[in-house]
Amino acid sequence: MKKLIVIGALALTTACSDDFYYTPKMIEVDSETYFSCGNLLTMNDGLPYEIKFVDSHGVNHSLKGIKHLHISGLSEDEIKLACPGTK
Residue 17 lies in domain: 6-82
pLDDT digits (tens, 9 = 90+) for 46-69: 788 888 888 888 888 888 889 888
Is 1 within the bounds of a domain? no
Q: What is the mean pLDDT of residues 1-5?
A: 36
pTM of the model: 0.68
Checking 65-69 for CB contacts under 8 A at 24+ apart, the result is 66/29, 66/30, 67/30, 68/28, 68/29, 68/30, 68/31, 69/27, 69/28, 69/29, 69/30, 69/43
* CATH code for the domain of 27: 2.30.30
Residue 76's φ and ψ, nearest 5 degrees, are -60, -40
How many structural domains are present in the chain? 1
Q: Is 86 exposed, middle or buried (0-12, 13-18, 19+ CB in 10 A)?
A: middle
